[in-house]
Every structure is written in C-alpha cells, then in structure tokens.
C-alpha cells in the first residue's frame, strides 16, 4: 500500500458508516485490489485550524507507533490536501462496541468483567510503556474484534492521546470525557499516565454495577464527587461482588495519582491474575439491565450531538441559553461552580482552559485565600475596580487588604455566567463574564451582588497569571 502518489479513492471503495466522532466519520472500505475490508477514519480538514491539524498529525503518529493485539492497528494515512480530506485506514473490527455486546449476552459474571478489563489494561500498560497516554478511556472507544464469543477487546481512538515519558507529570491540557475525567485533570494539577488507570477504574465499576460511579444531573456536582473520589458500593447490587473486585476498584479510583495502582500493578491483582479462583461466576442480570439503560442514555446523547441538539465546542463560549442535556439538566443551570456545561466532545481547548482557571480564581477569592490567590495573579497585576474609585491600582497590597479584612468569613457562592474567551496567541487571553456573588450578612439575611468583569491572562513561565482585571460597579 506504499506509493505516495496514490490516492485513497484509487485504492479503496467506501461502504457504510461505522461510527462518528467529533471531527471524523468512520466508514467501512474495501481494498479494490485485495478485496480486504478496512475501517477508514475520514477527516474533513478544510475547517480545521493549525492546532487541530497538528492534533491530527499527532493521532496518526501515535497510531503508527502502536502495535498491540488489543489496539486497533493503523495501516496507512492518506493526506489529500487538495481536497482537504485525510483518511486513516485501520484494521476493520466487526464486533461493535464492547458494552453493546455485553448487554446481548445470556450470561455475564465478574469473571467476564475481569477478562474485559484485563485486555483494556493490557493495552494501556503497553501504551504507557511506549510513552503514550490515551486520555479518553470510555465505552465508546472499546470495540470487539469480531462477533465471536470471547472476541478480543480493542482499544480505539487515539484522538486525545499524547506522547509523555513515564513519570513526566505536567499540565497537558484539559482533555477527556466528563464522567471519566480524573481528579487531577479536574483540579488542573500536573498529571501523567495514572489518568488512564482512573478511566479504566470508572469502566470497571460500570462493568460490575451497570451504572457509573460518579453521576449527577448537574455536571459540576459530578465533578465535585470526582475531585473527592466520592463513590460507594451501594446495597444490594454490590453485596454480591467479591471483596477483591472492590479492592481493585479502590486501587484504581484512588484520589492520589501517586498512590493509584499502575497499569502493571492492576494486571498483577489477584482478581485479574487469578481470575479462575478469585472472580465470581455468578450471573449478574441486574448489571445487564443497568447497562442497557446506561447504553441507551449514551446513545441518545450521541444522537443529540449529531443533530446539534447539544451544543458543540464552538458554542461553549458565551452562548446563552446554555446547551441542554438529555439528562434533564435544568436549562437555567448556573451551578455552584458556575462552569459552562460541557458536552461529550473535545474539551482540550485553550479557551476552556481559560474558563477553568478563571473559575478557579473566583473560587479562591470567594474562599478569601490570599496565599492561593497569589498563585493565580501576577505580582504587578493592574486593575480598575469600583473600590478604587476608578483609579488604576497596581500590585498585590491593595487586594491583600480585602483578604485580610474579610471578617465575615461567611460562606459565599459565586456564579460565573456567560464567559467569552478570546485567545491572543498561545500565551495570552482575554475573558469577559458576568459574576454573581451571594453571601450571608451579619444580620442573618443574604445579599447578592453582580458585576461584569474582564480579565487578561498571560502565560508567565508556563503558568497562567491574571495580569489585569476590570470590574464594573454593582
């Protein structure tokens, strides 16, 4: 299949759709000469910006590198710049999604779940050995090689994968799918390979329960649960799960990424390694029933994305009304963290990073934590705020006064509305938003103030710092 001159369409015939993602369509295709079947992931590159094109190159580069029985194999990439289309030709896998297969089974036990997660974690252990972090472990990306019983699980979709040497923790951007994001990513802490083990932990929990460990109609509340690694094993459905399975989940869903099991350690866990002796063989009908509902909800969400009922990336910023979610998120939702609702698509954008960091700064201010505040602002920050009577204020002492003299220490709630972000190159951005602060006053009543703010962020020595802000009067 070499020969740079040859075009995809000269060599392959396209057939039916196999799936759709945020930026691509996957179609079955047939090698005209050999009649072999493949899956072509097709990208329309016309409207992609430089950054997105680089990501596409990254995906191709990573897929080329990975050769493992539990990973979909890439054969060839055709970049047809004239027509603005890129084709990535993969081995065709015909078993569909793993989760769709499980719900169609007559019999399903812990032992089956153990076998599934073993293959998934084997593929992840291999990625980690090859210095790759997948960052998007979730059911949609777990396929089965064929429809035969016992078919191999194949990890797909390296669209968010990155090349990072083992142990090289860093902030590589906010990426993943909401329910599977790790606490460290949500906290915007430096992260590394353990994010994949967390994602596998979420998948394993679902494989055993039929529902996810972290869930709330309001996404930000779900994020709170994740950040605290707050989940449980409710009765009665978990009563029949072996303690070894629960112990393994605890090891994978460990809050502290350094204490979390590594992929290699997961593979050595008795529930995996000595499956025959340790994992239960009791049929789990309730799990199948739960999984059916879980799958239906996921598909509905995906379908709504496809027809645009759920806002896509481009409308995250500054669009009101908020995107609605099929999980009955209130339309007026201005959740306690006030983050714009995310849809299940790429969140790895600099704009989203600015929204997150602004949100974090506002919460630090609400918590009156001056030490934390200093981490987010430049020493020579300038501002115009009503408190200074319209004069420009420079430096931190002016702000410190407020933090030190905030005698109220009453709980406050910040709501952050309608953010609009404009990137000024890679290292600077402006964000404007509406901020509402509710607080209890000493008389026991509450007050609510609102203002419009503009903040200028600049990346200084690798960290985003607020260098200027401007607040309207209340």
**Considering CB distances under 5 to 8 angstroms, the limit depending on partner class, which of ligand ADP, Mg ion, none binds residue 323?**
none
> Measured on CA atoms in the order 82, 84, 88, 93, is the torsion positive or negative?
negative
Determine how many CB atoms are found less than 10 A away from the CB of residue 156.
Answer: 23
Report cis status (omega within 30 of 0) of the bond before 284.
no
Contact range with ligand ADP by CB under 6 A, out of 17-25, 195-203, 213-221, 298-306:
17-25
**Considering CB distances under 5 to 8 angstroms, the limit depending on partner class, which of Mg ion, ligand ADP, none binds residue 163?**
none
Least Cβ distance, residue 128 to ligand ADP (angstroms): 20
Is residue 168 within 8 A of residue 233, CB to CB? The reply is no
Determine how many CB atoms are found less than 10 A away from the CB of residue 375.
Answer: 12
Least Cβ distance, residue 43 to ligand ADP (angstroms): 9
Contact range with ligand ADP by CB under 6 A, out of 20-28, 187-195, 295-303, 359-367:
20-28
Pull the structure tokens for residue 464.
Answer: 């985003």
Spell out a b/e string for 194-212, using b for 16 or more CB atoms within 10 Å of the CB, else e. Answer: bbbbbbbbbbbbbbbbbbb
| 406 given a catalytic annotation | no
Determine how many CB atoms are found less than 10 A away from the CB of residue 24.
Answer: 20
Residues 58-87 that bind ligand ADP (CB under 6 A): 72
Told to check if 12 binds ligand ADP by CB under 6 A, we report no
> Measured on CA atoms in the order 230, 236, 242, 245, is the torsion positive or negative?
negative
Contact range with Mg ion by CB under 5 A, out of 57-65, 113-121, 149-157, 249-257:
149-157
Q: Which residue is nearest to ligand ADP (CB)?
A: 21
Backbone region of residue 288 per phi and psi (left: phi > 0; alpha: psi in -120 to 50; beta: other values):
alpha
Among 12, 24, 162, 340, binds ligand ADP (CB under 6 A): 24
Residues 360-379 that bind ligand ADP (CB under 6 A): none
Told to check if 19 binds ligand ADP by CB under 6 A, we report yes
**Considering CB distances under 5 to 8 angstroms, the limit depending on partner class, which of Mg ion, ligand ADP, none binds residue 90?**
ligand ADP
Which of 136, 157, 196, 348 is flagged as catalytic? 136
For 69, the 3-state DSSP assignment is coil
Among 11, 21, 87, 185, binds Mg ion (CB under 5 A): 21
Q: Which residue is nearest to Mg ion (CB)?
A: 157
Told to check if 346 binds Mg ion by CB under 5 A, we report no
Among 8, 11, 12, 41, binds ligand ADP (CB under 6 A): 41
How far apart (Å, rounded) are the C-alpha atoms in residues 80 and 31?
A: 18
Told to check if 157 binds ligand ADP by CB under 6 A, we report yes
Q: Any residues with CB less than 8 A from the CB of 379 and at least 6 apart, and which?
A: 395, 396
Among 11, 18, 272, 354, binds ligand ADP (CB under 6 A): 18
DSSP H helical ranges for 274-409:
275-278, 285-306, 350-366, 370-376, 397-404
Catalytically active residues, by annotation? 136
Q: Report the interface residues with Mg ion, using CB under 5 A.
A: 21, 141, 157
């Amino acid at each position: 299949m070499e020969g740079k001159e040859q075009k995809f369409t000269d060599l392959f015939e396209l057939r039916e759709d196999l799936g759709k993602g945020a930026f691509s369509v996957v179609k079955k295709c047939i090698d005209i000469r050999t009649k072999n079947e493949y899956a072509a992931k097709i990208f329309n590159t016309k409207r992609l910006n430089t950054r997105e094109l680089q990501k596409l190159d990254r995906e191709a580069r990573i897929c080329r590198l990975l050769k493992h029985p539990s990973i979909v194999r890439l054969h060839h990439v055709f970049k047809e710049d004239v027509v603005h289309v890129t084709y990535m030709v993969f081995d065709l896998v015909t078993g569909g999604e793993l989760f769709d297969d499980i719900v169609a089974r007559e019999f399903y036990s812990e032992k089956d779940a153990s076998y599934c997660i073993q293959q998934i974690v084997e593929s992840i252990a291999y990625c980690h050995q090859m210095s790759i972090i997948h960052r998007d472990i979730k059911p949609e990306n777990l396929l089965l090689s064929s429809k035969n019983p016992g078919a191999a699980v194949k990890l797909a979709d390296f669209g968010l994968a990155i090349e990072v040497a083992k142990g090289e923790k860093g902030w590589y951007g906010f990426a993943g799918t909401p329910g599977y994001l790790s606490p460290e990513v949500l906290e915007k802490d430096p992260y590394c390979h353990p994010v994949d083990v967390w994602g596998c932990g979420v998948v394993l929990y679902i494989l055993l329960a039929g529902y996810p460990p972290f869930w709330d109609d309001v996404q930000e509340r779900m994020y709170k649960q994740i950040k605290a690694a707050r989940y449980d094993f409710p009765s009665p459905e978990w009563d029949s799960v072996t303690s070894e399975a629960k112990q393994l989940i605890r090891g994978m869903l460990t809050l502290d990424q350094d204490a979390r099991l590594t992929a290699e350690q997961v593979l050595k866990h008795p529930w995996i390694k000595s499956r025959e002796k340790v994992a239960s063989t009791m049929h789990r009908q309730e799990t199948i029933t739960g999984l059916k509902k879980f799958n239906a909800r996921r598909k509905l969400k995906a379908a709504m994305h496809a027809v645009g009922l759920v806002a896509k990336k481009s409308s995250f910023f500054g669009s009101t009304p908020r995107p609605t979610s099929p999980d009955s998120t209130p339309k007026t939702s201005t959740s306690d963290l006030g983050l714009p609702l995310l849809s299940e698509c790429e969140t790895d954008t600099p704009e989203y990073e600015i929204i997150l960091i602004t949100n974090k700064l506002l919460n630090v201010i609400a918590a009156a934590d001056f030490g934390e505040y200093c981490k987010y602002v430049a020493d020579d920050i300038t501002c115009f705020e009503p408190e200074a009577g319209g004069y420009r204020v420079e430096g931190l002492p002016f702000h410190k006064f407020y933090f030190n003299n905030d005698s109220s220490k009453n709980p406050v709630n910040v709501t952050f509305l309608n953010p609009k972000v404009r990137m000024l190159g890679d290292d600077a951005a402006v964000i404007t938003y509406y901020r509402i602060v509710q607080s209890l006053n000493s008389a026991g009543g509450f007050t609510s103030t609102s203002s419009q703010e503009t903040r200028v962020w600049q990346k200084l020595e690798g960290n985003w710092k607020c260098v200027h802000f401007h607040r309207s009067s209340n």
